[in-house]
Amino acid sequence: MNIISKGHDGNYILMHKNQPVQAGQVITNHRGTYIVLGGSAPHKPASTGRVNVRDGIVKHLAVSDQSFFPGVIDCEWVKQ
């Protein structure tokens, strides 16, 4: 399922390299490997929104969920 969120001026879809991001999709870049869980579209014009991710490589027995700006995992919110 594509990740869609209501933003300040309508619905947005999360994109990675011009392709919609699916919930549970694994994204790897120079910062690491992440499982995309969801996110929040921009809440005002100057915002980039947020993405919620989980470490894709378990380093300990604990699960580590985090919230980042979308650019950290090479994504962006695009207005539908």
CATH of the domain at 20: 2.30.30
pLDDT-based confidence at residue 32 (cuts at 50, 70, 90): very high
The pTM for the full model equals 0.92
Burial of 70 (0-12, 13-18, 19+ CB in 10 A): buried
pLDDT at res. 64: 81
In terms of residue numbers, what domain contains 25?
4-79
56 residue type, one letter: G
pLDDT tens-digit readout, 47-69: 999 999 999 877 767 778 999 99
3-state secondary structure of 20: strand
